[in-house]
Amino acid sequence: MSAERFQSIARQTLLRFVLCAGALALLVFLVSDGLTYTEGSVFFSWESLGYLLSTFVLVGGILAFSIGKWMLEGARRVQALQRAVVHFSDQHRVSLEFVRALVEARAARRDEITVVADILERMADNMERHENLRMREEAKQHLWSRVFASSLDAIAISARDRRLLTVNEAFKRITGYSEEEVLGNEMLSSTVSVPNETPLTQIWAAVEMNSYWCGELLDMRKDGTLYPRWLSLSVVRDASQQVTNYIAVL
């Protein structure tokens, strides 16, 4: 039952109570002047019956009014709750679930307040689960940032086109280059030679095939001095196995 239907029934119920109470009160008023006697003694009077019925009508009218008011208030609460949940669900992209559940509830003649409460509980559980996942991801990213910044090994990260995106402090200390000087350069651009004169194209081909390559290289610092370094080169792929980044550790 929808909130609008609930409110309509409440109004009709209240109107019926008022009409019935009014009709009964009019009947009592019309006959309350009459008296009933049995063998000269007053056994029961229309007046006393009128008082009794009037009291009953008064109490019944008050009760009917209270019930009708309570039903109308309940309908307004349901409407307000539905509006709040729809707004909340729109903000969290679960409005389709809410609408589907209400349609199913109406088809099965279930209490919509219970349905709304169930949906709110599920939404709260989902929010808590997503918040926990978000916090774990943030913790992992924070840990990775600390490892990246504090590592004694030089680390360089490039985009899929092998252009450098970022380097850590150890990279700057070992090579002598600042981050601004190397960003946008191609990874391994400072390499002078490799063992057995292996072309860099073969190294990149091995990385693409095996997602990893390691070996010793001869590199040049900013001041022109040559130094050997052990390089570990790996690939980062997305869910569809497409290359997103390259990571070099030396």
Token pair of 14 as six digits: 């209240």
What pLDDT was estimated at residue 232?
A: 92
- Examine residue 206 and state whether it is found in any structural domain, yes or no: yes
Q: What is the mean pLDDT of each run of 10 residues along the chain (250 residues)?
A: 54 58 52 45 51 60 64 61 57 53 54 63 75 87 87 92 94 92 88 66 88 88 88 91 92
What pLDDT was estimated at residue 169?
A: 94
Residues 219 and 163 both lie in one domain: yes
Q: Residues in the chain, how many? A: 250
Range of the domain at 221: 152-249
- Examine residue 136 and state whether it is found in any structural domain, yes or no: no
Residues 113 and 13 both lie in one domain: yes
Relative orientation angle of helices 112-150 and 46-91, to the nearest 10 degrees: 30
Count of domains observed in the chain: 2
H helices within the chain, ranges in order? 3-31, 46-91, 95-108, 112-150, 169-175, 179-182, 200-210
CB count, 10 Å around CB of 226? 10
pTM to 2 decimal places? 0.51
Last residue of a domain, one of 129, 144, 179: 129
- Examine residue 134 and state whether it is found in any structural domain, yes or no: no
Residues 16 and 122 both lie in one domain: yes
Residues 105 and 222 both lie in one domain: no
What pLDDT was estimated at residue 105?
A: 55
- Examine residue 135 and state whether it is found in any structural domain, yes or no: no
Residues 111 and 156 both lie in one domain: no
**Are residues 147 and 157 in contact, defined by beta-carbon separation less than 8 angstroms?**
no
Q: What is the CATH number of the domain that holds 210?
A: 3.30.450.20
